């Protein structure tokens, strides 16, 4: 895709941050590696450190990872571990500590090996939200994370530090939601690949004030463009399921080259974590616990939060169909496909398809055929 120059800046953000992360370390700043949207990044900012995503997004190091991990494991887990094992990821290399959560058994056991490479702090995530004690457990885990970072970096994290971090992260969420909201329009003034480029780049940006300004420049520029026939798009697709990082360049272009447009990413690399703000009026630890435990991940059983969010997004973004993207061996999301299909087709009355894939290109031709056939029905 030929992206405008400002989109190019976001597409290069991950590569540029390889240099920035070394500069930050050389200047004495601390880096905390993260894996999941359950991580309360506000605590990391409040400790004077910078969070950076370590999720592997390439099959390059998977063969190396398979020396220790089974071949029939999620590609995200294998890729992430492989980049740490081979020291090919500068984010892992320069991280002072890595924060993980027990979102799945594969990650949980991989962290034991990763702890031999880098210091790990694993947050024990409750597996349901329908118990009164779940919120208290998660609040305790956030306090433990705060105490661990205080010890690691020899700092004291105050409530004021947390409140400032909450305001900072909420502002980023508000700005990114402004970008998302463009896709509610008809015709859509921005492609799904362009949205993904900004979302992906934003996760590797250190200067959030500069990032927010650039995003708002995009929003302002697109709002000022006239709505002519050149902006018309085909069927409106909502993507749900697993994180898209390692398969986005394979799946999104297939969808949009087939005449559709991706108007929303419900998955955790999209809008799932950003859609709800942290309450700035409550005790900061309580507010963080309430916000993060309600992320609608399939690890939760029952996972009613995902259904509620999907319902809102399908209506708000006027989705014509839902595509559920499942990474190979991600059992919780794969098992949940039946519930999502039943909800989408029976209650929302729109078409649904699920895709199970990995980080390789071997299934690209098959995906092109399946997706094109699905979109043809629309």
What SS3 class is residue 274? coil
Examine the pLDDT at 177 and tell me if it is beyond 50.
Answer: yes
pLDDT grade, residue 230 (50/70/90)?
very low
- pLDDT tens column, 342-352: 999 999 999 99
Q: What is the pLDDT of residue 352?
A: 98
Examine the pLDDT at 2 and tell me if it is beyond 60.
Answer: no
- pLDDT tens column, 314-373: 999 999 999 999 999 999 999 999 999 999 999 999 999 999 999 999 999 999 999 999
DSSP state of 50: E
Contact 262, 256 (CB under 8 A): yes
> Span 24-43, mean pLDDT?
95
Could you give the CA distance from residue 189 to residue 164 in angstroms, rounded to a whole number?
34
pTM of the complete model beyond 0.85: yes
Q: What is the pLDDT of residue 228?
A: 52
Q: What is the pLDDT of residue 250?
A: 96
CATH architecture of 5-157: 3-Layer(aba) Sandwich (3.40)
What is the phi/psi pair of residue 121, to 5°? -125, 115
- pLDDT tens column, 52-106: 989 788 999 999 999 999 999 999 999 999 999 999 888 899 999 999 999 999 9
Q: What is the pLDDT of residue 229?
A: 43
**Element housing 236 (H / E):** strand 236-241
The mean of the pLDDT values for the chain is 92
What is the phi/psi pair of residue 158, to 5°? -95, 170
Instruction: Report helix, strand and coil shares of the chain as percent, to nearest 5.
Output: 55, 10, 35
Could you give the CA distance from residue 106 to residue 88 in angstroms, rounded to a whole number?
21
Q: What is the pLDDT of residue 3?
A: 42
Q: What is the pLDDT of residue 9?
A: 65
Per-residue CA distances from 285 to 53, 168, 281, 289, 372 (Å): 22, 16, 11, 6, 47
Could you give the CA distance from residue 355 to residue 334 in angstroms, rounded to a whole number?
9
Q: What is the pLDDT of residue 227?
A: 55
Examine the pLDDT at 134 and tell me if it is beyond 50.
Answer: yes
- Exposed/middle/buried for residue 202 (C-beta within 10 Å: 0-12, 13-18, 19+): buried
Q: What is the pLDDT of residue 12?
A: 74
């Amino acid at each position: 895709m030929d992206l405008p120059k400002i989109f190019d800046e976001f597409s290069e953000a991950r590569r540029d941050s390889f240099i920035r992360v070394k500069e930050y370390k050389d200047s004495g700043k601390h880096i905390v590696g993260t894996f999941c949207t359950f991580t309360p990044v506000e605590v990391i900012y409040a400790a004077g450190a910078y969070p950076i995503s370590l999720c592997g997004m390439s099959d390059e190091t998977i063969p190396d990872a398979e020396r220790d991990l089974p071949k029939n494991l999620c590609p995200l887990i294998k890729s992430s571990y492989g980049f740490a094992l081979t020291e090919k990821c500068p984010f892992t290399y320069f991280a002072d500590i890595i924060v993980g959560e027990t979102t799945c058994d594969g990650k949980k056991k991989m962290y034991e090996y990763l702890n031999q490479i880098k210091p790990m702090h694993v947050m024990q995530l409750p597996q349901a939200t329908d118990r009164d004690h779940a919120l208290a457990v998660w609040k305790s885990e956030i306090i433990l994370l705060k105490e661990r970072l205080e010890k690691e970096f020899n700092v004291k994290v105050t409530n004021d530090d947390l409140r400032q971090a909450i305001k900072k992260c909420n502002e980023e969420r508000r700005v990114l939601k402004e970008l998302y909201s463009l896709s509610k329009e008809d015709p859509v003034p921005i492609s799904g690949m362009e949205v993904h480029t900004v979302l992906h780049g934003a996760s590797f940006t250190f200067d959030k004030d500069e990032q927010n300004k650039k995003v708002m420049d995009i929003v302002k520029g697109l709002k000022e463009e006239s709505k002519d026939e050149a902006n018309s798009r085909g069927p409106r697709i909502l993507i749900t399921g697993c994180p898209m990082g390692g398969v986005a360049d394979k799946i999104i272009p297939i969808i949009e080259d087939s005449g559709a447009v991706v108007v929303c990413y419900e998955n955790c690399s999209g809008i799932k974590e950003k859609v709800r703000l942290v309450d700035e009026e409550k005790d900061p630890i309580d507010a963080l616990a309430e916000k993060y435990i309600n992320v609608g991940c399939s690890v939760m059983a029952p996972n009613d939060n995902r259904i509620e969010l999907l319902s809102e997004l399908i209506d708000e973004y006027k989705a014509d169909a839902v595509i559920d993207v499942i990474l190979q061996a991600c059992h919780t999301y794969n098992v949940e496909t039946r519930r999502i299909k039943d909800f989408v087709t029976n209650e929302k009355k729109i078409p649904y398809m699920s895709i199970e894939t990995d980080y390789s290109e071997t299934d690209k031709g098959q995906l092109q055929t399946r997706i094109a056939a699905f979109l043809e029905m629309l």
